């Protein structure tokens, strides 16, 4: 900051000197032209005029060179001085005005340019599952087959129907993408598969709610409440609920999980379900406490560390997120999680422990 202030002060001082030089040189040139006009036939006066113009032109050329050629390259650009000298010497008055005006503009202090040492990084997809099944298909997989309009429609339909045997969390996003497909058949089948899954879960929810009304013992109520919380969570987990319906499903899952906890007391599974629901509702403070509570009740640490790391990331606690991922690395996480851990634990990627997303 002090260096920048001193540098700006020096440039202003040079600018004032250049302005003063502009006035003096202009007056001198005007006076010299008037004197030469009155003694146009005198060779002696012509020689004095040329010497004076050469000295003035050299002085102004050096001033222009100083301001136009900055930094370490100044000593390598003396050819510019010769160019400015010729411009001033052979164009009386206008040349001097032009060069000094350019020098004044170049000397005007500008805001310092700040070069950020950070680079943009492509963030990998954050996967929370520790053991996702590795599903492979021929011809580059189902996704590549479905997204290629050039592939014959029967083959794309066959790939779309194969999604019925995949977990909802993996297949539902693919089906949602196909709702905007160019083919009417693809769109209709994708909508039908999603609708059937949603109807199946809603039918189970309806049955469980009837069972809850007829429950006579706390044990039966506990089982029913837990099933309801899990069914509403399945709608979120399978990405079948979108927008306001998703928020409603989260609140329902949280409500049933809390009611079940009142009956079961300390239950690690229900605590974990409640924590994930709070996490999706962005209630990070309470979610952290419930995650830690589920770990204290016996839930394996590897299941909650990804959530805690993401909460730390949202809170901009990047050092904490890195430490949590380092702890997670000893539990043999999935390949995607390994890439995320490698990204965060490589010191070179995050100077001074900071991250620019």
Q: What is the pLDDT of residues 285-305, one digit of tens each?
A: 999 999 999 988 888 888 898
Domain limits of the chain? 2-107, 119-132+300-357, 137-265
- Confirm if 344 and 325 have CB atoms less than 8 A apart: yes
Predicted local confidence at residue 7, as pLDDT = 56
- Confirm if 235 and 205 have CB atoms less than 8 A apart: no
Average the pLDDT over 242-258 and give the result.
Answer: 90
Highest mean pLDDT among 10-24, 97-111, 183-197: 183-197
Predicted local confidence at residue 35, as pLDDT = 66
- Per-residue pLDDT tens digits for 187-197: 788 888 888 88
Q: Is the pLDDT of residue 134 over 60?
A: no
Q: Is the pLDDT of residue 258 over 70?
A: yes
Tally Cβ neighbours within 10 Å of residue 355.
18
The model's pTM is 0.56
Q: CA angle 173-238-342, nearest 5°?
A: 70
The average confidence (pLDDT) of the chain is: 75
């Amino acid at each position: 900051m002090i260096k920048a202030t001193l540098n700006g002060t020096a440039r202003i001082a040079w600018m004032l000197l250049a302005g003063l030089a502009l006035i003096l040189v202009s007056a001198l040139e005007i006076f010299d032209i008037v004197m030469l006009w009155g003694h146009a036939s005198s060779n002696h006066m012509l020689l004095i005029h040329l010497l004076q113009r050469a000295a003035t032109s050299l002085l102004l050329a050096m001033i222009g060179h100083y301001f136009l050629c900055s930094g370490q390259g100044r000593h390598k650009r003396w050819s510019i001085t010769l160019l400015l000298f010729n411009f001033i010497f052979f164009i009386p008055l206008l040349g001097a005005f032009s060069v000094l005006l350019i020098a004044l503009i170049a000397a005007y202090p500008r805001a310092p340019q700040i070069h950020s040492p950070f680079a943009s990084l492509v963030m990998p997809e954050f996967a929370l599952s520790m053991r996702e099944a590795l599903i492979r298909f021929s011809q580059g997989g189902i996704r590549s087959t479905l997204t290629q309009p050039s592939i014959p429609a029967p083959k794309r339909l066959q790939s779309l129907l194969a999604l019925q045997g995949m977990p909802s969390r993996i297949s539902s996003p693919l089906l949602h993408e196909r709702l905007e497909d160019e083919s009417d058949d693809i769109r209709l089948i994708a909508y039908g598969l999603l609708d059937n899954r949603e109807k199946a879960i809603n039918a189970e929810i309806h049955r469980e709610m009837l069972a809850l009304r007829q429950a006579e013992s706390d044990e039966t109520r506990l089982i029913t409440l837990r099933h309801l919380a899990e069914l509403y969570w399945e709608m979120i987990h399978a990405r079948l609920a979108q927008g306001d319906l998703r928020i409603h499903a989260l609140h329902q899952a949280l409500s049933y999980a809390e009611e079940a906890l009142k009956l079961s007391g300390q239950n690690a599974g229900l605590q974990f379900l409640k924590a994930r629901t709070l996490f999706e509702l962005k209630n990070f403070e309470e979610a952290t406490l419930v995650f830690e509570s589920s770990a204290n009740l016996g839930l394996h640490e590897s299941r909650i560390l990804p959530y805690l790391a993401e909460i730390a990331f949202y809170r901009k606690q990047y050092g904490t997120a890195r430490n949590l991922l380092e702890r997670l690395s000893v539990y043999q996480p999935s390949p995607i999680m390994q890439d995320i851990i490698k990204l965060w634990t490589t010191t070179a990627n995050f100077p001074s422990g900071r991250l620019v997303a």
